[in-house]
């Protein structure tokens, strides 16, 4: 018997790898001689680097980079097992976790993410996967482009200060010094966000309030990004302001779409492809997936749903079992598409949230053992 264990993380308590190990431990109590293939996953947000490195036998690398406030931090990126693909998380250097009440949303920038990409380029990779989740910035990706050699100038020819707010004074884009290695590397943006850069569903009005922007600051950022889009169109001929996904990660998508050959793909699809999931699942009897909570929204691009869909496409006879710490609103709607065969909650008793997070691994192991015993008698 073969089990493929492909869960997302249980946010705040267990990484995807830890979830996979806990599930395997429980199943092994029932099926000690089964074949287990662990494929920890993510959907492009926090945990994508760790999941892909673990799933492909790659390596984690650390570099010094700048956070959204310009402070130096240690951030990690990954080289996958093929040695030709790097994976970078926007959250690693430019994440919302670095913000505080004294920070200025007008000055937050993504320079640190550009530094991670530059480090990956120095390794001679052919592809870079960039997870756009967890951004703490609204700078249109201008910080990344600056880190890679681009210059953002005002009408006097002086470089603009960092941050999205400064883009309102952008007059000229100098791309002559942009890292030439970008032309030879395939950039894949892992994101399920389809918002444009500008408009009522744009990066500033939708995402900036989550990053500390007051209503008046949102207005300034929206105007700055609108002007940014106009200058991009004049400079490159690319109308990125209205492109789906250009508003992802505070407009970071726009920076890549404007100045590189990047393409946006579904986060979970990118991770599954990089993990060679379709091939690894073909001879599986069961796929076990899950995340912290399953509910009706899981159908809209969440990792477990992507795992279930990919499983049935590659191996229709394989049964898909989902385990979550809690089951939310209308979770039974997940059965409607006939992709997930059965759903389990791993909570063993009613307990405070803090205790539940501490017990998450043990509860998962106990639930997985019960799942195994049910499989055995069927």
Q: Are residues 139 and 237 in the same domain?
A: yes
Place of tokens 């884009």: 173
Q: Are residues 57 and 186 in the same domain?
A: yes
Q: Please, which pLDDT band fits residue 22 given cuts at 50, 70 and 90?
A: very high
Residue 138 lies in a domain: yes
Residue 365 structure tokens: 């192991």
Q: Are residues 19 and 111 in the same domain?
A: no
Domain end among 267, 288, 307: 267
pLDDT at res. 126: 96
Place of tokens 């979550």: 324
Q: Whole-angstrom Cα distance, residue 62 to residue 78?
A: 9
CATH number at residue 105: 3.90.1510.10
Q: What is the pLDDT averaged over residues 3-29?
A: 94
Q: What is the pLDDT averaged over residues 129-150?
A: 95
Q: Please, which pLDDT band fits residue 334 given cuts at 50, 70 and 90?
A: very high
192 neighbors 44 (Cβ within 8 angstroms): yes
Residue 97 lies in a domain: yes
Average pLDDT score over the chain:
94
pLDDT at res. 14: 93
- Asked if pLDDT for residue 302 goes beyond 90, the answer is no
Q: Please, which pLDDT band fits residue 356 given cuts at 50, 70 and 90?
A: confident
Q: Which of 293, 289, 288 is nearest to 357 (CA)?
A: 293
Q: Are residues 26 and 66 in the same domain?
A: no
Q: Are residues 175 and 242 in the same domain?
A: yes
Number of structural domains in the chain:
2
Cα separations in angstroms, 355 against 25, 362, 370: 21, 11, 21
Residue 321 lies in a domain: yes
Cα separations in angstroms, 193 against 44, 80, 190, 197, 250: 10, 24, 9, 11, 11
Q: Are residues 345 and 243 in the same domain?
A: no
Q: What is the pLDDT averaged over residues 322-333?
A: 93
pLDDT per position as a tens digit, 163-205: 999 999 999 999 999 999 999 999 999 988 889 999 999 999 9
Q: Whole-angstrom Cα distance, residue 174 to residue 98?
A: 29
Q: Are residues 299 and 365 in the same domain?
A: yes
pLDDT per position as a tens digit, 30-54: 999 999 999 999 888 888 999 899 8
Q: Which of 291, 287, 315, 286 is nearest to 302 (CA)?
A: 291
- Asked if pLDDT for residue 278 goes beyond 90, the answer is yes
pLDDT at res. 101: 81
Q: Are residues 203 and 297 in the same domain?
A: no
pLDDT at res. 23: 98
> What range does the domain containing 341 cover?
2-41+277-377
Query: In DSSP terms, which residues pair with 290 in a beta bridge?
Result: 323
Model pTM? 0.87
Residue 186 lies in a domain: yes
Residue 63 structure tokens: 């570099």
Q: Are residues 21 and 132 in the same domain?
A: no
Q: Are residues 33 and 52 in the same domain?
A: no
- Asked if pLDDT for residue 313 goes beyond 90, the answer is yes
Q: Are residues 137 and 263 in the same domain?
A: yes
Residue 236 lies in a domain: yes
Q: Please, which pLDDT band fits residue 349 given cuts at 50, 70 and 90?
A: confident
pLDDT at res. 160: 97
- Asked if pLDDT for residue 301 goes beyond 80, the answer is no
Angle at 153 between CA 135 and CA 137, to 5 degrees: 10
Residue 272 lies in a domain: no
Residue 295 lies in a domain: yes
Query: With pLDDT > 90 as the criterion, what percentage of the chain qualifies?
Result: 87
Domain end among 213, 243, 267: 267
Q: Whole-angstrom Cα distance, residue 203 to residue 185?
A: 27
pLDDT at res. 43: 84
- Asked if pLDDT for residue 13 goes beyond 80, the answer is yes
CATH number at residue 317: 3.40.50.10350
208 neighbors 105 (Cβ within 8 angstroms): yes
Q: Are residues 52 and 34 in the same domain?
A: no
Q: Whole-angstrom Cα distance, residue 36 to residue 246?
A: 39
Query: With pLDDT > 70 as the criterion, what percentage of the chain qualifies?
Result: 100
Q: What is the pLDDT averaged over residues 143-166?
A: 96
Q: Please, which pLDDT band fits residue 103 given cuts at 50, 70 and 90?
A: confident
Domain end among 267, 302, 335: 267
Q: What is the pLDDT averaged over residues 56-61?
A: 95
218 neighbors 208 (Cβ within 8 angstroms): yes
Q: Please, which pLDDT band fits residue 12 given cuts at 50, 70 and 90?
A: confident
39 neighbors 4 (Cβ within 8 angstroms): yes
What's the chain look like in SS3? Answer: CEEEECCCCECCCECHHHHHHHHHHHHHCCCCCCEEEECCCCCCCCCHHHHHHHHHCCEEEEEEEECCCCCEEEEEEEECCCCCEEEEEHHHHHEHHHCCCCCCCCCCCCHHHHHHHHHHHCCCCCEEEEECCCECCCCCCHHHHHHCCCEEECCCCCECCCCCHHHHHCCEEECCCCCHHHHHCEEEEECCCCCCCCCCCCHHHHHHHHHCCCHHHHHHHHHHHHHHHHHHHHHHCCCHHHCCCCCHHHHHHHHHHHHCCCEEECHHHHHHHHCCHHHHCCCCCEEEEEEEEECHHHHCCCHHHHHHHHHHHHCCCCEEEEEEEEECCCHHHHHCCCCCCEEEECCCCCCCHHHHHHCHHHHHHHHHHHHHHHHHHC
């Amino acid at each position: 018997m073969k089990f493929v264990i492909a869960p997302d993380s249980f946010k705040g308590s267990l990484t995807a790898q830890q979830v996979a190990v806990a599930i395997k431990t429980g199943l092994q109590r029932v099926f000690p001689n089964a074949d287990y293939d662990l494929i920890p996953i993510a959907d492009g947000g926090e945990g994508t680097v760790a999941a892909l490195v673990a799933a492909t036998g790659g390596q984690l690398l650390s570099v010094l980079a700048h956070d959204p406030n310009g402070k130096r931090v240690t951030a990690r990126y990954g080289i996958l097992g093929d040695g030709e693909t790097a994976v970078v998380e926007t959250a690693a250097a430019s994440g919302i976790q670095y913000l505080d009440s004294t920070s200025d949303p007008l000055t937050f920038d993504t320079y640190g993410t550009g530094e991670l990409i530059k480090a990956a380029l120095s390794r001679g990779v052919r592809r870079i996967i960039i997870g756009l989740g967890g951004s703490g910035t609204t700078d249109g990706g201008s910080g990344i482009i600056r880190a890679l050699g681009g210059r953002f100038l005002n009408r006097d020819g002086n470089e603009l200060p960092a941050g999205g707010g400064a883009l309102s004074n952008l007059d000229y884009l100098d791309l002559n010094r942009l890292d030439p290695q970008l032309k030879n590397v395939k950039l894949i943006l892992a994101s399920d966000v389809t918002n444009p850069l500008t408009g009522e569903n744009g990066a500033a009005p939708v995402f900036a309030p989550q990053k500390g922007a007051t209503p008046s600051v949102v207005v300034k950022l929206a105007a700055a990004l609108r002007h940014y889009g106009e200058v991009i169109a004049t400079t490159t001929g690319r109308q990125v302001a209205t492109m789906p996904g250009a508003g992802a990660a505070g407009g970071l998508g726009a920076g890549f779409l404007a100045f590189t050959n990047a393409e946006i793909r579904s986060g979970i699809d990118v991770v599954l492809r990089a993990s060679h999931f379709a091939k690894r699942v073909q001879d599986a009897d069961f796929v076990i997936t899950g995340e912290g909570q399953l509910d009706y929204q899981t159908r809209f691009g969440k990792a477990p749903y992507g795992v279930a869909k990919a499983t049935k496409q590659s191996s229709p006879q394989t049964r898909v079992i989902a385990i979550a710490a809690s089951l939310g609103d209308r979770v039974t709607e997940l059965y409607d598409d006939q992709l997930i065969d059965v759903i389990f909650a791993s909570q063993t008793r009613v307990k405070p949230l803090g205790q539940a997070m501490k017990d998450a691994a043990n509860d998962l192991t106990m639930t997985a053992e019960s799942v195994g015993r049910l499989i055995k008698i069927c």
